[in-house]
A = this chain, B = another copy of it.
Amino acid sequence: MANKVTLKQIAQEVGLSPSSVSLVLNNRPCRISEENRKRIKEVAARNHYVPNQIARSLVMRESRTLGLIVPNIESRFFASLAGSLEKRCREDGYALFITSSGGSADDDLELLRQLVTRGVDGVFLVVGDEFSDDRALREEVSHLPIPAVMVDRAIEGLECDKVMFDHEMGGYMATRYLIEQGHRRIACLVNARRSNTGRKRLAGYERALREVGLPIDARLEFESEYYIPSAYEASEAVLATDATAVFASSDNIALGLLKRLHEMGKSIPGDISVVSYDNSAADVLFEPALTAIEQDPGVLAEHAFGCMSKRLAGRGGRRAEEVVLEPALIVKGSVLDLTEYS
């Protein structure tokens, strides 16, 4: 294990003061002779000198490091978001501290504190979807000494930059599409009990029905957690209805549903049509591929970084910015067009 080389050592070797070395290596405007400039750079390079960011952060009061808290890095969507965001940060010379909380507000809080004391310049928060007790977290976020951007979801009623897809619109688009394809009995499988996001998607579903005068039938609305087994369980009841189509409000929910369909020997879209949410790797496998509402994590990352960037630059108004992105309906082959037969 090699030693770390410090500014002082470089200065000593060159025979100048640490300040001069610092000035030269940071290309500050200063009057150091060309000759010494060269020597400093040469010695620094020869010794593989890299400035200690810790020390630098302390005095500069910025670390060029950002933090990200996601509920679960093992989820495809968050992993992809993290990947995109990291790449984007790096482009601007920021490192990204990716952390995964497990989803509870307590863990989120703990991680947030960790990030702040470790001196990140800003945080991206993917928190606050579930209905847990988030008072402490809310308190912490509102008193943060650094900018925060809430991504994909938000703690309701908090004055803070937000970037997210329009979940209500997603639910609406999915349902609207099914209606246009001639479906009238449309079931939905959502996580409305424990997720704000789920509630919004459900609201969109209902709006689409209302808009065309279709009844909102509670017997067609089913509840599922965002886990495959949960959706698998719930799916039996869904398939016992007379619905000709199902809106599955997350990729995992769709997977659980598909598993059940598979087991019951039902085919898509022959026996039942499905619109899913998010794109999943499983997609490639399915024949037919799933028609779905897509949210591009890259776009989310881009806008989130944009907000952050503004705040960090001191631009960015005093009021919180709110970016709402429209999801896209990607038509593949899991929906049967009933209008053809009419």
Contact = CB atoms under 8 A, between A and B. Distances in A.
Interface residues of A, number: 55
Interface string A169-196: 0000000000000000000000000000
A98 B73 CA distance: 10
B287 A263 contact: yes
State how many copies of this chain the complex holds: 2
Given A53-B119, A86-B73, A99 B100 contact: no
Contacts of A82: 73, 98, 100
B285 A53 contact: no
A203 B179 CA distance: 55
A97 B100 contact: no
A108 to B, nearest CB: 13
Q: Is the interface of A mostly helix, strand, loop or mixed?
A: mixed
Contacts of A73: 73, 79, 82-83, 86, 98
Which of A63, A73, A102, A287 has the largest number of chain B CB atoms within 10 A? Answer: A73
Nearest to A102: B87
Interface stretch (A33-41, A143-151, A211-219, A329-337): A143-151
A244 interface: no
A214 to B, nearest CB: 31
Interface stretch (A1-9, A10-18, A300-308, A320-328): A1-9
A329 B145 CA distance: 51
A76 B83 CA distance: 12
A100 B83 contact: yes
Contact of A145 (B4, B228, B282): B4
Contact of A285 (B57, B116, B144, B259): B259
Interface string A47-59: 0001111110110
Interface string A280-305: 11101111000000000000000000
Given A1-B143, A97-B98, 8 more contacts: A1-B144, A50-B113, A74-B76, A74-B83, A76-B76, A83-B100, A95-B114, A285-B286
Interface of A: 1-4, 50-55, 57-58, 63, 65, 72-74, 76, 79-80, 82-83, 86-87, 95-100, 102, 113-114, 116-119, 143-147, 228, 255, 258-259, 262-263, 280-282, 284-287
- Shortest 6 CB-CB contacts between residues of A and residues of B: A98-B98, A2-B143, A54-B119, A79-B79, A53-B117, A74-B83
7 contacts: A52-B117, A53-B119, A54-B58, A54-B119, A74-B80, A82-B100, A285-B286
